[in-house]
Structure 1
Amino acid sequence: MTGDADPLAAVVARGRAETAADALREEGIYDDDRSIRPFGEDAVALPVTAPPEQTAVREIVRQEAEPRLRNLDDHLRERGWTEAERERAPGSWAVIGTVVLVDVGDAPRTGEVGEALLDLHANADTVLARHGIDGTQREPDVEVIAGAGDTETIHTEHGTKYALDLAEVMFSPGNKAERKRMGDVVRGDERNEGPERVFDMFAGVGYFTLPMARAGARVTAAEINPASFRYLLENAKLNEVHERVDLYRADCRDVAEGVEADRVVMGYYEAHEYLDAALDALEPGGVVHMHEATPESLVYDRPVERLTEAAAERGRAVEILDRRKVKGYSEGVAHVVVDARVE
């Protein structure tokens, strides 16, 4: 420990850095003007303005004050990058557990970009360049550009834990708010009506299944990708919801034949192709959440029309409850969700 004027830091296990930093921010004591620093072999020191009263940490230490390199541009400038080169550097990325996921675009010297990102995020140990998602099973195309190369991690959002291998399965950082929202809208058994019955047609590693099951819903989840399904099984146990989920490694259209659901989640950009199965599984008065990649000029008309027409073919009426953009999908295309009650 150094002199009393030196700033404070809270030491936590490297794997807890993301969750602990969020908790310290909620306490109002996280210091955004300083950087996270490595602490020993398996821990990091999170900058704080005062000892935490609610967040569990290993210890509180003092550090020598140092000016923070606040962003990627600062780190690349320190490495001698010119202004023209820095303009080609990535403008956004995501930290998923201990992995940084980044679209490098046409940035020069991508290895240096990766090393700079590791310096910027001391809780991370691997940087992956993301090149896209391939095929109907949504398999990621990624490349290790810096760090240990360990692509398997555990990512925590709003208390939900997602174990996954980012070299094998897809995880979209931009869907964070939507994942939380689905945990908020479902009904548990608090009104003695029994838990809400949910059918998650494209479960992945449990993006929506886990927060909904944690909220008390009974979830039937289908996932056809074997790698994603393996993590779906693991995550159900990791989040202690395995008794509230029925998991199937199968095409969701086959699973739908035996499902009676109060709510159907269609978390796939081409979900309209599966509306027949979704409506067959959805009980009268139930709610469907239909995702779609929609050209900006057709937001929200196209997904609403597709849903309304599919329901009308079955003599069912649709009440639109909500429509929202989740994020950009590609240039001129938005990822949107339509929530609707189907009588």
Structure 2
Amino acid sequence: MSERDADRRFAVVVAKPRTQAVIDALREEGVYDDDRSVRSWDGDSVAIPVTDPPQSVEVREVVEQVGEPRLRGLEDHLRERGWTDDELDAAPSSWAVVGSVVLVKLGDSPRPEEVGEALLALHGEADTVLARGGIDGAHREPDVTFLAGEGDTETIHTEHGTKYALDLAEVMFSPGNEAERVRMGKTVEEGETVLDMFAGIGYFTLPMARAGASVTAIERNPTAFRYLVENAMLNDVSERVTPYRADCRDVIREGLSSGEGLGGDGRVDRVMMGYYEAHEYLDSALSALSPGGVVHVHEATPDDLVFERPIGRLEAAAADADRSVEILDTRRVKGYSEGVAHVVVDARIE
């Protein structure tokens, strides 16, 4: 093989909105090249690196990239910009691509704008980079800062077939919860009735509805609610999603008193509590849950109280309602903050 042949590498050209779906399909076929970056191709498409032309993935065209530098990560891109070892030590260690937007935690990183430009070079499918701050207020609104690119914060993010339209400057999105969102789509059964008490833009509602569940989705943030309704239509599940812009306690109280909505008799087979302070609403959640139903409780818990505290709170709420608890599963989803973990407890309530 000549030196020129050894340097020859392939890429597939696809429309930019299909980037993540195509990458997932290429990974499944075993031809996605992790050693190279996705790069912009023209105004509306990207070139995704592959080890060989794919056989089962539909693409616009297969192209050759000869002599393309193998920049493996952010550090390589920053070194090209003259960063020293000390500066690289302070560079971001985590970021996520959400649709066409890169979300990055800057920490103590120097030269934030260069970080943004490097991330755009690393992720050709993205056109905007935002620095992530915290989540503030009763409506869980994100604090983000523009770093680089076009500045368009509205996007559509596709995750295992579920489409999420959102504005990352207006509503929260946690990339670290992806496994939980996917898991809930696999956990529910077709025909189940589900109450999602803190639905947001449809984080858990959408995969559950796509799996065939009928979901009562409650969200009081008007911006998130607008995207919730839009996303139900975007995923063709509007007939299985009943959205309410209200306080979840009011919806539950009305459903129980009228015997309508929720599960038809005011109660449901499953309750999703995907909010870190969900324990404050456990009494309402259990009142809406049919005997033998399942509740999924998310909580931000200090490391030394992981599982002990959320299980204790759940058992206390059940005792107050004269009901029993069977713990089905416990999971540590991710780190929430220093010394605090995001955990989930699944329990059957008799």
Normalising to structure 1: TM-score of the pair?
0.96
Match of 2:65 in 1: 63
Q: Given the alignment of the two structures, is residue 304 of structure 1 paired with residue 311 of structure 2, yes or no?
A: yes
Match of 1:214 in 2: 210
Match of 2:120 in 1: 118
**Per-residue deviation, residues 62-105 of structure 1 (Å, max 9, x unmatched):** 12232211111111111011111111110010000110001111
How far 1:35 moved relative to its partner?
A: 2.1
Structure 1 distance, partners of 2:139, 2:42, is 40
Match of 2:150 in 1: 148
Preserved contact between residue 39 and residue 122 of structure 2 (Cα < 8 Å): no
Structure 2 distance, partners of 1:34, 1:103, is 23
How far 1:301 moved relative to its partner?
A: 0.5
Letter in 1 for 2:293: G
Unmatched segments (≥5 aa) in structure 2: 256-261
Spell out the pairing of 1:260-279 with structure 2 (5 A cutoff).
260-279=267-286
Match of 1:244 in 2: 240
Q: Secondary structure at the match of 2:335?
A: strand
Structure 2 distance, partners of 1:75, 1:4, is 25
Structure 2 distance, partners of 1:239, 1:327, is 27
How far 1:305 moved relative to its partner?
A: 0.5
Match of 1:45 in 2: 47
- Which of 226, 250, 254 is residue 254 of structure 1 equivalent to? 250
Preserved contact between residue 283 and residue 321 of structure 2 (Cα < 8 Å): no
Letter in 2 for 1:269: Y
Letter in 2 for 1:72: L
- Which of 4, 7, 13 is residue 11 of structure 1 equivalent to? 13
Match of 2:103 in 1: 101
Q: Secondary structure at the match of 1:63?
A: strand
Letter in 1 for 2:154: E
Match of 1:205 in 2: 201
Letter in 2 for 1:335: H
- Which of 132, 135, 154 is residue 130 of structure 1 equivalent to? 132
**Per-residue deviation, residues 93-148 of structure 1 (Å, max 9, x unmatched):** 00001100011111111000000000000100000001110011100010110000
**Per-residue deviation, residues 147-194 of structure 1 (Å, max 9, x unmatched):** 000000110111000000000000000000000000001010xxxxxx
How far 1:48 moved relative to its partner?
A: 1.1
Kindly tell me the number of residue pairs found equivalent between the two proteins: 335
Residue range with higher mean Cα deviation, 56-65 or 263-272 = 56-65
Match of 1:170 in 2: 172
How far 1:312 moved relative to its partner?
A: 0.6
Letter in 2 for 1:224: R
Structure 1 distance, partners of 2:39, 2:323, is 58
Q: Secondary structure at the match of 2:215?
A: strand
Letter in 1 for 2:180: E
Spell out the pairing of 1:302-341 with structure 2 (5 A cutoff).
302-341=309-348
Match of 1:180 in 2: 182
Q: Given the alignment of the two structures, is residue 159 of structure 1 paired with residue 155 of structure 2, yes or no?
A: no
Match of 2:229 in 1: 233
Q: Secondary structure at the match of 1:91?
A: coil
- Which of 287, 290, 299 is residue 297 of structure 2 equivalent to? 290
Structure 2 distance, partners of 1:66, 1:326, is 37
How far 1:52 moved relative to its partner?
A: 1.6
How far 1:329 moved relative to its partner?
A: 0.4
How far 1:299 moved relative to its partner?
A: 0.9
How far 1:4 moved relative to its partner?
A: 6.8
Structure 2 distance, partners of 1:294, 1:95, is 27
Letter in 1 for 2:139: Q
Unmatched segments (≥5 aa) in structure 1: 189-194
Structure 2 distance, partners of 1:21, 1:41, is 19
Letter in 2 for 1:102: V
RMSD (CA atoms): 1.0
Structure 1 segments of 4 or more deviating over 6 A? none
**Per-residue deviation, residues 279-326 of structure 1 (Å, max 9, x unmatched):** 110000000000000001011110001000101111100000000100
Letter in 2 for 1:210: L
Structure 1 distance, partners of 2:314, 2:216, is 22
Structure 2 distance, partners of 1:4, 1:105, is 42
Letter in 2 for 1:225: N
Match of 1:24 in 2: 26
Structure 2 distance, partners of 1:53, 1:244, is 36
Match of 2:259 in 1: none
What percent of counterpart residues are identical?
A: 70
Normalising to structure 2: TM-score of the pair?
0.94
Q: Secondary structure at the match of 1:35?
A: coil
Q: Secondary structure at the match of 1:67?
A: coil
**Per-residue deviation, residues 209-234 of structure 1 (Å, max 9, x unmatched):** 00000000000000010110010011
Residue range with higher mean Cα deviation, 113-122 or 15-24 = 15-24
How far 1:273 moved relative to its partner?
A: 0.1
